[in-house]
Amino acid sequence: MIKMRDDIKEILLSEEQIEKVVKKIADEISRDYKDKNPLIISVLKGSFVFMADLVRRITVPCAVDFMSISSYGKGMRTSGEVKINKDLDTKIENRHVIVVEDILDSGLTLSYILDMFKARGPASIALCALLDKPDRRKMPVRIDYSGFTIPDEFVVGYGLDYNEKYRNLPYIGILKPEIYSA
């Protein structure tokens, strides 16, 4: 982990800050979805750590499912083209759905996913994003449960990666530009 830490310009969000916000969001979801048995959908891979921590703190019955999509490839900017690698196993018709994302950046991918889910007839659909980067927004997307608003920096850790590295960092850090511009 020493090598990975050397690649971080600065720690943007500590483990403690993240834990506090995850608990706050879980409390809000528990309150809002009392008696609704929501289906919590993780958009893989980046949100898996956040979703795992989140569902462990939600105090009402809920189900989980996973979707894997790609729009970034190996780079740091979205291609704008969404490819579904793994669709849901659960039918969402008449279900209360909460889509969990690690970061809302351009909004292109999430806009596509939310439109696709709405067409499947859920009872309701909400978006939960740990990080919001509004300076990069290209599509308007409303976040129902938001953790942190962050600057337009390339961040890794707590599930977020660069070329499949850094997901296991327990905090969110700003990656040194020389790492991704090399």
Q: Which residues does the annotation mark as catalytic?
A: 105
Taking the C-alpha atoms of residue 156 and residue 138, their distance in angstroms, rounded to an integer, is: 21
In one-letter notation, the amino acid at residue 19 is E
DSSP annotation of 123 reads: S
Taking the C-alpha atoms of residue 37 and residue 17, their distance in angstroms, rounded to an integer, is: 28
Interior CA angle at 128 toward 127 and 133, to 5°? 100
Taking the C-alpha atoms of residue 128 and residue 73, their distance in angstroms, rounded to an integer, is: 23
Residue 163 CA to its chain's centroid (Å)? 17
